[in-house]
């Protein structure tokens, strides 16, 4: 199927930071069988989803496979749960809203996260007290090395904060696997997850004491719209850095020096800090360097004010990291991948 490919394709509309780059060749994948095209296995590849966690640093010398496999259905159900399958190319937010409309709650806290279903497990997307790994059942992927489809169950995925087997093995960078379908397990015994203070507060403001899944979703959509820029208007890639996790002693010292420092104790005894707070305190909220800056309502979000390149992103990223390191001696690591 070599005619699947186009050459010299402009990727600026395929990444939410709107960075300019061209791919030597490009194919839009709408069914899993297309991945078995022999020519694909021999080339340097990048598997592209919604491009919402991506920094394009220049032209991509190789093949970009743009995952657009559609489909969503109830696969099965048992006494305890619904098992829902979705194609890798489905838009994440639309998929979540569809599950709610079908009466299958459980993903509502992940409403309005940009990107695709197939990308969700790779960085174990998370927000408002839920990570996708908690609702993940299994996935199917094409393995370009073995030239076969494989199924990966939840217990093999090594999900952690913004991390998984797929990242740990570097497959998101090497293009070894292309995820084609994901199955979610949504427990029938639903309880609203209001662990995140902002959600409980938003529902209280709306005078909702016992929320439905739809009401939780609506509250989260409202919070996100207030805080986070819409990539269609202000190009961005969501949180640009991970929230750093430090040992308890270090967190206690920082908290003593900086009252107000948000600290989230982790199950392993370490403490997660809020990168957005550190960046704001380091003077970078709403500040820019050339065309790239940190968003004025959420300092953790790096935005392209217009015409930026990957090099501009790197420059601002390095300046923010240096400012936070100098003030707090904390290293920030970027969340998006650089290609
Ligand atoms: N904060 C500031 N100044 C800022 C931003 C945040 O002081 O400019 C403080 C807030 O007041 C709060 C704390 O930092 O005390 C945490 O802020 P927020 O609740 O906005 O969440 P976050 O830690 O900045 C994380 C995720 C988001 C996710 C939200 C909600 C990461 C890297 N980011 O952000 O995920 O939506 O929690 O759960 O873990 C993403 O990954 O792209 C993303 C948007």
* Candidate list 90, 134, 202, 335, residue with the active-site label: 335
pLDDT for the residue 120? 98
Distance 244 CA to ligand 1 centre (A): 12
Q: Using 50, 70 and 90 to split pLDDT, how confident is the model at 13? A: very high
Q: Is 239 in the pocket of ligand 1 (CB under 6 A)?
A: yes
User: Annotated catalytic, 335?
Assistant: yes
pLDDT for the residue 3? 79
Q: Is 244 in the pocket of ligand 1 (CB under 6 A)?
A: no
Residue 2 near residue 25 (C-beta atoms within 8 A): no
Q: pLDDT for 42-98, tens place per residue?
A: 999 999 999 999 999 999 999 999 999 999 999 999 999 999 999 999 999 999 999
Q: Is 53 in the pocket of ligand 1 (CB under 6 A)?
A: no
Q: Is 272 in the pocket of ligand 1 (CB under 6 A)?
A: no
Assess whether pLDDT exceeds 80 at residue 1: no
Average the pLDDT over 6-18 and give the result.
97
* Candidate list 162, 176, 185, 288, residue with the active-site label: 162
CA distance 214 to 57: 39
Distance 89 CA to ligand 1 centre (A): 27
pLDDT for the residue 2? 53
Q: Residue 284: how many CA atoms within 13 Å on its side-chain side?
A: 29
Q: Is 263 in the pocket of ligand 1 (CB under 6 A)?
A: no
For residue 114, the ligand 1 atom closest to its alpha carbon is: 42
pLDDT for the residue 174? 94
Share the mean pLDDT of the chain.
Answer: 97
Assess whether pLDDT exceeds 80 at residue 150: yes
pLDDT above 70 as % of the chain: 99
Average the pLDDT over 302-313 and give the result.
98
Question: Can you read off the two tokens belonging to residue 178?
Answer: 């292309």
Quick check: helix, strand or coil at residue 262?
Answer: coil
Q: pLDDT for 198-227, tens place per residue?
A: 999 999 999 999 999 999 999 999 999 999
* Candidate list 90, 138, 239, 288, residue with the active-site label: 239
pLDDT for the residue 182? 98
Assess whether pLDDT exceeds 90 at residue 30: yes
pLDDT for the residue 203? 98
207: left (phi over 0), alpha (psi -120 to 50) or beta: left
Average the pLDDT over 164-179 and give the result.
96
User: Annotated catalytic, 169?
Assistant: no
User: Annotated catalytic, 111?
Assistant: no
Angle at CA of residue 147, ends 141 and 153, nearest 5°:
30
Q: Residue 270: how many CA atoms within 13 Å on its side-chain side?
A: 9
pLDDT for the residue 274? 98
- Whether the pTM exceeds 0.85: the reply is yes
Q: Is 245 in the pocket of ligand 1 (CB under 6 A)?
A: no
CA distance 117 to 181: 8
Atom 19 (ligand 1) nearest CA: 198
Question: Quick one: DSSP state of residue 333?
Answer: -
Average the pLDDT over 172-190 and give the result.
97
């Amino acid at each position: 199927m070599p005619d699947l490919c186009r050459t010299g394709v402009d990727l600026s509309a395929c990444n939410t930071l709107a960075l300019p780059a061209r791919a030597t060749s490009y194919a839009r994948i709408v069914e899993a069988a297309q991945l078995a095209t022999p020519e694909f296995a021999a080339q340097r590849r990048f598997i592209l989803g919604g491009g919402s966690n991506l920094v394009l640093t220049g032209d991509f010398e190789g093949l970009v496979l743009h995952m657009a496999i559609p489909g969503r259905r109830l696969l099965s159900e048992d006494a305890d749960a619904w098992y829902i399958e979705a194609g890798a190319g489905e838009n994440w937010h639309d998929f979540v809203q569809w599950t709610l409309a079908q009466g299958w709650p459980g993903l509502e806290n992940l409403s309005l996260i940009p990107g695709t279903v197939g990308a969700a497990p790779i960085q174990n997307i998370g927000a408002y007290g839920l990570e996708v790994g908690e609702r993940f059942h299994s996935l199917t992927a094409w393995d370009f090395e073995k030239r076969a489809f494989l199924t990966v169950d939840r217990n093999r995925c090594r999900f952690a904060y913004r991390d998984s087997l797929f990242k740990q093995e570097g497959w998101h960078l090497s293009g070894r696997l292309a995820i084609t379908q994901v199955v979610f397990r949504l427990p029938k015994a639903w309880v609203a997850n209001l662990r995140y203070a902002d959600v409980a507060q938003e529902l209280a403001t709306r005078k909702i004491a016992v929320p439905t899944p739809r009401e939780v979703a609506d509250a989260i959509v409202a919070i996100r719209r207030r805080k986070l820029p819409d990539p269609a208007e202000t190009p961005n890639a969501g949180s640009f850095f991970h929230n750093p996790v430090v040992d308890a002693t270090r967190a206690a010292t920082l908290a003593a020096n900086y009252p107000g420092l948000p600290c989230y104790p982790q199950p392993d005894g370490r403490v997660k800090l809020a990168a957005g707070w550190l960046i704001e305190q380091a003077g970078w909220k709403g500040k820019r360097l050339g065309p790239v800056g940190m968003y004025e309502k959420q300092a953790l979000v790096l935005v392209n004010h217009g015409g930026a390149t990957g090099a501009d992103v790197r420059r601002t990223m390095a300046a923010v990291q240096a400012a936070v390191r100098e003030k707090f001696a904390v290293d920030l690591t970027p969340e998006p991948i650089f290609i």
